[in-house]
Structures are given as C-alpha cells and as structure tokens.
Structure 1
Amino acid sequence: MTGKARRTAAAALALVAMAPMLSGCLEEPSAHEAVRDFLVGWQTGDYTAAAERTDGDEKVVRKALEDAKLQLDAASFRFNLTGIRGTGEQVEADFRAEVDLGENNPLWEYDGKLPLHLVDGSWKVRWSPGVLHPQLHEGQRFAVDVTPQERQPILDRKGEALQEEATLYVASVIPATLKNAEEVCERISKITGFPQDRLLSRIRSARPDIPVPLVTFGRIKFAQLGKQIEAIPGVTITPQQQSLNPDSPTQIVGSVTAVTPELVQQLGGPQRAGETVGRTGLQKVYQEHLTGSTETSVITVDLKTMAVTELKKWKPDRSTSPVHTTLDRTDQETADAALLGGGVPGMLVAVQASTGEVLAVASTKGKYDQEKDALAGRFPAGSAFSIMSVEGLIKAQMNPKQKLACPSERSVGGARFRQAGPPAGETPSLQANFATGCVTALASLARKIGSADLTTSAAQFGIGAPWTLPLKSFSGSINSKKPLTTDAATARAIAGQNVLVSPLSMALVAGAVASGTWRPPVLVTAPKTLDPSVKAAPSKEPDPIKIDEKTVETLRTFMRSGVVAGSARAAAAPGDPVHGITAVATRDRKPLAWFVGWQGDVAVAVLTASEDPTAGAAVAGRFFRGPHDKL
C-alpha cells in the first residue's frame, strides 16, 4: 500500500470513528444525521451516500465530489464540525476541512458551510459548488499550480559555474485539448515506464489551459523514445537548456539526470517532469539545497474565461542556494593537462597551503576516480611517509648531517627493504637520503624513534584526523591492524609500507610543511549545512595543528634539496622555489610513484601508476609550470 493510500484509509477510519461524536454535537437529531452522512460520505469516498443527503441531482453531486478529489490530486479529506445554528426549517453547519494534497505537498485547511433545509420533511444539504468551498462557483473547478524552483549551480572559488549547458526534452500536454487523457497517459506509460496513474493525476489536477509537463528526457533517451512520444496526439515536445553537464573535476561536481521511473521508485513521492536529480558528487549530496522545494497554489479556474482565483498559496519552505566550492578553474585545467601530458595513469590533488582549501582534483579517466581514489583512496605512503618520520627523528635529536648508508637491500628486525634504482655511491647524509627517498637508509632508523613518537608525528600532520568533507574522504591510518611493537613494524612504518594515505591527505601534509601549520581540508564554503538526507558530519572539525618551527625549517630544507639535488628534480619550475620529494610504493604488486611538495602557497600530492620513481615529480613539474591564478 502506498503512503497516499495509507493516509486515505487512515482518514476514512478517523471520520467513521467520529460519527458518534457528530451525533452528540447537534441538538436537532434529523439535521445532524444529514450533516453526519454527508461529511462521512465525502470523507470516505462514498459519494452516493453523501449525494443522497443533498437536494441536488445525485449524479451531479456525486461527480462534483469525485472531481474535487481528482482536481486537487488529494490523498484525503478530513472534516471537523465546528458549529450548527438556525431555527425552524433553515439550519447552517460550520465545518473545518483538512485536505492532504499528497506527499511532498502541504496540508490545505479551510472553513466551509453546509446550508440545510427541510425537503418533504427531511433535512437536506442545499447543494451548490459553494458546499465544496465558499469561493467555488458554478462553471468553475479546482486546480493545483505547482512551480518548481530552478536548479542552482555549483560554483568555483570565483563564483563561476562548474557546469555546461545541456538540452533536456520536455513532453507536455494542454489538458483542455486532449480528447482522451487516459489513452494519452497509457501510451506514455508503456513507452517510458512512468506510472500511468501519476501521469493522469498531473493532468487532472492542473490548469486546463496551459501546458502540463509530464516526462523529461535527456539527449540519449530522447533519441531512443522521442519519435514514439511525438506520435501521441496532443503531446508536444519542447527542448530546454539547463546547466547540467559537469565541468572538470566532473566526478567531484557530479552528474545530474532528469527524473526517471526508477528514480521515482527510489526517491518516493510524486516527482515531476522537468525536475532534475543529482546522481553523484556534490550534485547528489546538496540536491535539496540546489533545488529547494516547490511553490504550490490551490486555485479555482473559470471554465469559460479561464480566469483564475487563488484560494491558498504556499511559498517554498526551502529556498534554493548555489554550492560555493574552493575549486579553482585555472588550477583544475592545469592539473588535468599535467596528467594528460604524462602518458601514465595518475592523480593530482592541489590545496592552498595556508587554508587547506582544495584547489584541484584531477585523475586519469577510466583508471582512477576523483572522489573514491583521489579524496578517499587508501594507498601505501611509501617513503613519502619519511616527512613524518623525519619530524620524529628531529625531535629525537638526530643530526640531519649524520651519514647513513643506502644499500640496495637491507633487513631490519627480519623485515626486508629494497631501494628502487641504483644505491648511492658514497655514504650520504640523512638529508641526502631523504632527498633521494632511500628507503633502506630510512628504515634503518627504526631503533632511533619509538613507535609512540612515530604515531604522534603522523598525527601532527593530520594522519588519522577526524576531518570530514561533503564527499567521501580518507585522512590516513598508520598500522591500523597491529601496533608498532617491533623494530620490523616500526621500520615498515618509516618506509610507509604499513601506512595508508590518500592523495588529499598527502597534499595537506605538504601544505603543513609549507605553511608551518596542518589544517583540515575545505571543499565547500557555502551552504554551511548538508542536506538532511546526508549523514551528519561531526559538529566540530579538528583544530589546525602548528608544527614545531625547528622541524618545519629542517623539513623545508630537506624538501628543497629533493628538487635541487634529489630525485624530484623534474618538479622544478620558474617562479617561487619548488619543494618536494618523490617516493615509491607497491599496491597489489603494482608499482606507484609519489610526489609530495609545494610551490608558493599551492601544495600538491601526485600519485602515478608507474615503475619510474620520478613520474610523479614530472607531473608536478608540468603542473607548477602551467598557468595559475593568484590566490
């Protein structure tokens, strides 16, 4: 049983139970029976019983009561008797009507009157259209005007829309011109799958003289079904331009579709043609903000002049609002081009170091998803975790100039490590090993730093922090399955083998070194609240974390040397000096190459599916050398 049917049944039971109460409220037994039978019959849909209690033609009254329900597309009527007065052969009863206009629509309440008089010794309701509503007259009918609000855009940080124009095709009818509305709806239903009863209800409750949209098609569906729909007499198809196609980053912005029969079942309620639904990305999680609610009016229409009288109007209870993001169109285009020019699959996330605002999210189409992988992916950090490791080592008073051998292989506590590329020809310093990402040298320091200190260092850079975004995201985790209780486990953590991170979380790590403070990410600046249907975020985001100044200065020196003399030289670019390091990792036995660094106030993390340890740095270099707007 549908929600609408349940409410109708419940309403019927409510008035049947109320009938004895009506009897007790009226002093004149014969008059009260007429009022009771008429209202109970109207409310329960027993229109014959109601018509018998009037002085009008039974067929006319029965049809008028039935039409009122259809014209209002009402789920139910409920009535409360509020008074009765009169003497002799003239009596008037006052009642309060509550009309449920269906799911997602308001409750219409109004006061009505039932004039009664004696006809051949029996009390009868004096019939006129005014019995249905005091402002309904002969030659008029009810109708419901529903006006959806225009879908609002998703905007970049400069207020420019991140969508392009798309053409929708709306199939409409003018009710007054249809010879057989039932047949039209049956044919549309067979072609499209939309429920026939809902299509017919739309026609019956609409103004008879204006186009009523019934079904909306996207380009592909219109190509498949358009000719069949156009062949139905009385149906007109009109193209409409709407900003629906997402610009880059398409998976972050999200896709939008016209309402389909499948969506009607998923979403519930009487979805209307012309409405659009966000299917993915920000379009989905901010659906209600972007579309708001409808404006609804109950009106009367004069069937000769088509003049309209408004009986009640409800303004939208939710206004629409655009979604303001921190995305930068120029940075996004530059990031897309940087990945495209590399020839290897990958991802790039750019953030503003001083704010944590996400500037760009790029990924190779078909290989990586911008939300599921770039924001929420769980990838081994590899030697990129050395940023956090060095922070802990500095606190442990280790000298950055200390010499550490960089062999091709090393065993620590039984765990074996292998250095990608040729080993260093001489014994380099900690700084040089950091700059070249020598995993065998870094892993050897497992006994220099305690597991608790390593975990604390990771937390200083937001690894595992409870930050949230409107979309799925992952802040990272360190050795989530087993504690770091052995040298082998600690060495694996230093080498990033048992540390999982996302490109977003590593971009924030780079931003923390660049600015001296770790900050949680920001993707949307307004609206401040998510849609009610979206799982609530924590009431408070984690506070920024200021990094020790000595640690920051050392890391900046290390990461600058990674570009000047280390394995990240491909990231060099004109302008502000580039800082960064490369790292290698393995996922599902497939090699990955990281770059983590920054230039100016823009911090990036690049992850590529490549055996070349410098592949990520090459992508970053193309990004830094490309066009950028001043922040």
Structure 2
Amino acid sequence: MSVAKAVRAALALGLAVPMLTACFEEPSPLDAVRDFLVGWQRGDYAGAARRADGDPAVVRQALEDVGVQLDAASFRFSLKGVKRDGDSAKAEYHAEVDLGENNPLWEYDSTLPLHRVDGQWKIQWSPSVIHPELHAGERFAVDVEPLARQPILDRANESLQDETIRYVAGVYPDKIADKAALCEQLSQVTGFAEDRLLSRIQSSPPQSFVPLATFGGKTFGQVRDKLKAITGISIRTDSLPVAPKSPKDIVGRVAAITPEAEQQLGGPQRAGDTVGRDGLQKAYQDQLTGSTETKVVILDSSGKQVKELKAWPGRANTSVRTTIDSGLQAAGDSAVTASQQVALVALQASTGEIRAVSTQGMNQQKDALAGKFPAGTTFSIIATDALLKSGFDPKQKVPCSADRSVAGARFQHVGYTGGATPSFAADFAHGCVTALASLARRVSGDAVVASAEKYGIGSPWELPLASFSGSRPKPASDAATAKLIAGQSVRVSPLSMALVAGAVKSGTWRPPVLVTSPSSPDPTAEVAPAAPPAPVPLDPTVVEQIRTLMRAGVTSGSARAAAAPGDPVYGVAAGIGYVVKKQRRDLSWFVGWQGDIAVAVLAESTDASAAATVAGRFFRAAGLKKP
C-alpha cells in the first residue's frame, strides 16, 4: 500500500498514524495534513491548530465553533490526494459531517493549501480551509423547519382529533446576552440536557425563533411562572389536531417531547415536537411527523443568510386513514354508556374493516382488540360448523339439563331447559352448555379445531395495534373436546368473535382491517410486515344452516334483546363464569349481525342477556335499516 493510501485509510477509520513520518527522509506535507485532519476529527483543536500558520488561538476557536454551529455529532475525513510543487502543496479531502440522530449526513469536498514555514509544512489558514465557500466574518448555521403533525382520519377522511393548544418555549438567539445561563435555567425547569439546548441555539440562525420545549396546557400552567422568569424566553402557542376523539384508545394520545423522549429521538426538537404515547399515534409516529426539513447555510456577521450549502427536504408526513365510521362509532358509544364493564366491536362483514370500537370501563385496545376471554357458548357457532360437517342433524333431540358430566368434566346450565326434550336448534338458540357438551362424542376434537382455524381463531393476522385472534387447545380426550365445544377452554377477543359473525354473514372469513393508508406502520422499515392471511371461503350449505340457527337465537332464544328495527338481526348470546387471578368473573356475550355490520359485545355481568341488550341498543342507534 502506498503512503497516501495508508493515510487515507487511517483517516477514514478515525485513526492517527504516528509512525508514518518514518517513511520520509525529510518533513512531508502529509504530516501536516494528517495531524490537522485527525486533530479536527478527534476534537483536538489545539493539536490541529499547531499545524496551521494562523494564530493558534484563532484556528483552535474556529474549528471548535464549526462543531457548535452545525450541532454536529461527529466529523470524519478521508484524504483524496496531495500534490506538491516545490515549497507549496495542496491536499484534497472529503468531509462527512453527522448532523445528529434523525438528521442527514452532510458530505462535501475541500482543499488544504500548504507551504513551508521555517522548514515545516503548514496549512495556510483561512476560513475556506473549513469549507471552500466560507469566508472571513461568516459562520455556519443549521436551519430546520419542523412539519406540523398530521391527523388520523376516519373512513370519510374526517379528523379523529380535536384541535388543542400547545405552548412552545423558545428563543431568538441574537437577543440572548448569556446563552449558557439561559440554558442552565431552562434545563432546571424542563429536564432537558443543558448542552443539547445550548447546541440547538448556537447552531440556529440568530434571528430565527428557535423552539426548545413544548408543553400541554396542564404542564404549562405548572411551569408558566418559572419560564417567564428566564430572561430571553419567548412563549408561542400552536393549535394542533392531537386531542383524540372516540375511539380514544385506538386513535391514541399525543404528548409534548419529554427529556426521556428526547434521548430516544435525538435532540431537543423533533418534527412537530410531539410524540405519540399510545394507539395509532404511537404506531404511526414517523408517518404522522415525517422528518424535519434541514438546511446547512452560511450567515454573515449580521446573521443574514448569504448562501445555502445543502438542503434535505426531509420525509413528507401524511395523515393515517382508518376504517372507523364516525356514525357507527357514535352509535357504539351511546350503546355502552349504560353498562359498567363492556366492550363492543363492529365491523363490515363483507370486508373485515373495523367500523367501531366502543367500551365502558374497559380499554378499546387491550380488551376489545387484544383481550383474552373464554368464548362460552358463542363458540357453538364454530362447534356447529364441525358437527354439521360430520353429518349431525340440528333437528335431532338433545336434552338440556341443569347439570351434566361428560367423561368426568362437569357442566352446569342455568335457566332454559327446554321442558320436553328440545331439538339441538333450540339448544343452540338458548346457548345450552350441557346440551353442547354432551355432543363431544359426536364429533372429533380435531374436526372442531379445523373449523376454528377456518373461522380465524388463532390465525396469524396482524393489526398496527396489539390484537388477539384467539387460541384453542387440541383436545386429547372426550372431556377436553366437551370443554372445547362449550367454549370453556377457548380464548377469544371481541374482535376475533366479530370476525366470526362476519364470516357467517358473508360466507367468507376475512382478516381484520383498521388502517387503509399507509399499508405499513413504519414507512421507513427495511422489512415489510407479513402479508395478511387470505380470506377463507366457508361451506355455503353449512353456513346457511348456521344462519338459520342464529336467526332463531334472536327471534326465540337468549339473544332476543338484540332485536331491532330494519334488517333482521342474527345472533347468539351466552353467559359464562370463570376464575382469573383467584377471582370469579361473570361474562355475557353477544355475537351476531344486522345488515352488513357484524358485532361482538362482551359485558361483565351475571345477566347472560346483558351483552345482547347492548347490541340491540347499538343496532337501534345505528339505524341499520333496509335500503
């Protein structure tokens, strides 16, 4: 390897080359170039200054100021070549300036003129050594233009946020007498790192407003007096669409940047100066904020821009469009208000698009989308699919007793018993758990599991938010099959059961959809998310029989409270008690549809019809009438 290549490789790796001078019989311009660039790169400004012919204090300060003016995380240099002509020489180098996390890499080429001074090679000092466009009396600055946070939209492109006031504390750098003192005081109030605040100020155009911290109304009220006591701080107000409308847990909340978020996001400012705390606001943080437009500019001594050296437009931010129907969402919200603990999920049966997620006393994401609850006899929809495929006749008489044991597993049913031996259709309509469990020997556990798979229970679909598609054990005995048929060993979410209802209505199971644009929560991700599972067509003959059974559930069964004007309502209702963390919980389910809107309701209640009552209120409020 040649000496020039060795120097270039060493500089590119940020390594000094102390022994290279041994390769020369007399001082070489490479020595000066090496010491100057490596010293500058490592922050040894005094060492770099000794290799220049200017006043060492002036050179040292100039090199140090460059890092401050650019708020640079690092400099890296590589030597492109050196040409010598007697007592003069010129070195060409390539610079890479890291402008900090979430900011671009600035690259440029420049030259170092050299000459001999008393037998030693020296850099001929001038500001153009730093950059060919930089002249005496001028300085660098980084000009940034944050993009306003974009809204999350419903399916009609209406915002799912209300405008809210944010308070922005910032400064005009040229009006601050003691920048360090201001940053020290602001750091004590906000918790932001003092050096980061100072770098942000020093790297900005002196006459521009530099935002340093953003506060919501409550927090601003707590720190207002402390901020006003800091000489040089200015307060601005911005109105941003960040206060979530229903469904609030799904839309998510937005907070002003905190010191903790600053460390994660890199620097005291970020595009829009807001960060999503949860929900879609967090899942689509980059999409909603984009990236800041950044410019490296040269300013004269008065702070006026004289040249733009480089500009990065940043990544555009765009809104996020959801499948939420604000009208149906309002209907869902009104339907759940009279309950203490309830979750409702409504979706379009023909598409799988989620139209409403309403809760009272529960979380719309953690419970409605991702909750893990026993399905109870609403699982009879899937068990019946397996029974019908095995040749079972729903007209067959099946006793509905108050108590029954199947292979040692005990089942109890409260309420309806059917008097004279009822048909399976009547048992289905009333959610008779003992009747369902008694059929464990009429169908294999594997067949029930296969039907569950076709209805998406345990399917690997994904949403931008945490969700649960369900889980079902593979039964190894008649007792285990009985528990599976009765829905006691199955765990589902309201969302997964709404998809089951949609599958019966449409004849095809479809994965859920919550966001239609963009297709990925992280548009910058190198690896695209897994493709959603394909729709699964169901046996049309079997599905039609299940529809008939579910219609009876509303006309004469335990789901009668779900009846509403307009299109016929189909559904099943169920009550189930189970123990979680040594405490008994009583749940009520409704799973069904009206028109093209499939619904699952889960209520914490000892009244098995509580969920059906909520569903009925929803259907009536939604006005799902025949066209």
Give the TM-score taking structure 2 as reference length. 0.92
Corresponding residue for residue 226 of structure 1: 224
Alignment map for 1:172-571 (pairs within 5 Å): 172-265=170-263, 267-272=264-269, 274-304=272-302, 306-316=304-314, 318-340=315-337, 342-364=338-360, 367-478=361-472, 480=473, 483-531=474-522, 539-571=530-562
SS of corresponding position for 1:552: helix
- Match of 2:520, as an amino acid? T
Please state how far the C-alpha of 1:34 moved relative to its aligned partner.
Answer: 3.5
Asked if the contact 1:163–1:243 (Cα under 8 Å) also holds between the matched residues in 2, the reply is yes
1:7 — aligned with what? none
Name the CA shift for 1:408/1:621 in 2 (closer, same or farther; >3 Å).
same
What is the rounded CA distance, in whole Å, between the counterparts of 1:320 and 1:582 in structure 2?
45
C-alpha contact (below 8 Å) 1:23/1:36 kept by paired residues = no
Q: Residue 38 and residue 262 in structure 1: after superposition, are their counterparts in 2 closer, same or farther (change >3 A)?
A: closer
Q: Is the 8 A contact 1:23 1:29 kept in 2?
A: no
In structure 2, list runs of 5 or more residues that go unmatched: 1-8
CA distance in 2, matches of 1:303, 1:629: 69
1:592 corresponds in structure 2 to: 587
1:283 and 1:521 mapped to 2: Cα distance? 19
Which deviates more, 169-178 or 389-398?
389-398
Contact 2:114–2:124 at 8 Å: present in 1 too? yes
SS in 1 for 2:587: strand
> Is the 2:373–2:493 contact (alpha carbons within 8 Å) kept by the matching residues of 1?
yes
SS at the partner of 1:288? helix
Q: Helix, strand or coil for the counterpart of 1:477?
A: coil
Query: Could you tell me which amino acid in structure 1 is paired with residue 376 of structure 2?
Result: G
Q: 1:563 Cα deviation (Å)?
A: 1.0
1:624 aligns with 2:624: no
Say if 1:23 and 1:33, in contact at 8 Å, map to a contact too.
no
Deviation of residue 86 (structure 1)?
5.4
Q: Distance in 2 between matches of 1:419 and 1:498?
A: 17
Aligned-partner Cα distance in 2 for 1:290–1:17: 44
Give aligned-pair identity as a percent.
Answer: 55
Secondary structure in 1 matching 2:618: helix
1:623 aligned counterpart, secondary structure: helix
SS in 1 for 2:356: strand
> 2 CA distance for matches of 1:358 and 1:608?
19
Report the CA distance between 1:425 and its aligned residue: 2.8
* 2:12/2:76 contact within 8 Å kept: no
| Aligned AA (2:510) | R
Distance in structure 1 (CA, Å) of the matches to 2:110 and 2:18: 18
Where 1:573 maps in the other structure, the secondary structure is coil
- Listed one character per residue, the Cα deviations across residues 86-119 of structure 1 (whole Å, up to 9, x for unaligned) are 5345433322222222222222222222233444
Task: Pick closer, same or farther for the CA change 1:22–1:175 going to 2, 3 Å.
Answer: farther
How much has 1:21 moved relative to structure 2?
5.7
**CA pair 45-541 structure 1, distance change in 2 beyond 3 A:** closer
Q: Provide closer, same or farther for how the CA distance between residues 536 and 559 of structure 1 changes in structure 2, counting only shifts above 3 A.
A: farther
Q: Deviations over 1:571-602 (max 9, x none)?
A: 11111111111111113222111111100100
Alpha-carbon distance between aligned partners in 2 of 1:535 and 1:371, rounded to the nearest angstrom: 27
Are the aligned partners of 1:330 and 1:628 in contact in 2 as well (CA < 8 Å)? no
The count of residues paired between Structure 1 and Structure 2 equals 613
After superposition, the C-alpha distances for 1:191-241 in whole angstroms (9 at most, x for unaligned) are 111110100110111111111111111122111112101210000011111
Q: What is the CA-CA distance between 1:13 and the residue it aligns to?
A: 9.6
C-alpha distance in 2, partners of 1:23/1:94? Answer: 23
**Paired residues of 2:252 and 2:277 also in contact (CA < 8 A):** yes
Tell me how far 1:123 sits from its aligned partner: 4.0
Post-superposition offset of 1:485: 2.9
Deviation at 1:541, TM superposition (A): 2.2
Shift of 1:347: 0.6
Q: Shift of the alpha carbon at 1:422?
A: 4.4
The answer as to whether partners of 1:115 and 1:125 remain within 8 angstroms in 2 is yes
Once residues 159 and 21 of structure 1 are traced to their aligned partners in structure 2, the CA distance between those partners, rounded to angstroms, is: 66
Distance 1:16 1:425, change over 3 A: closer
The verdict on how the C-alpha distance between 1:61 and 1:584 changes in structure 2, with shifts beyond 3 A counting, is same
Contact 1:22 1:36 in 2 (8 A): no
Aligned CA distance change for structure 1 residues 594 and 54 (closer, same or farther; 3 Å)? same
Query: Which stretch has the larger CA shift, 56-65 or 546-555?
Result: 56-65
Q: Find the residue that maps to 2:513 and give its secondary structure.
A: coil
Deviates more, 1:79-88 or 1:407-416: 79-88
Secondary structure at 2:275 match in 1: strand
Quote the Cα distance in structure 1 between the aligned partners of 2:427 and 2:35.
Answer: 93
CA contact (8 A) 2:249 2:365 kept: yes
| Residue 101 of structure 1 pairs with residue 99 of structure 2 | yes
The Cα of 1:27 is off from its aligned counterpart by: 10
How far off its partner does 1:351 sit? 1.0
Q: 73, 78, 98: which one pairs with 2:76?
A: 78
Equivalent residue, structure 1, for 2:6: none
Residues 537 and 521 (structure 1), Cα distance of their counterparts in 2 relative to 1, 3 Å cut: farther
Cα distance in 2 for partners of 1:45, 1:416 equals 77
Distance 1:36 1:439 in 2: 84
1:17 equivalent in structure 2? 16
Q: 524-533 vs 107-116, which deviates more?
A: 524-533
Decide whether the 8 Å contact of 2:262 with 2:269 is kept in 1.
no
Moved more, 528-537 or 542-551: 528-537
Matched with 1:583 is 574
Give the conservation status (yes or no) of the 8 Å contact 1:493–1:499. yes
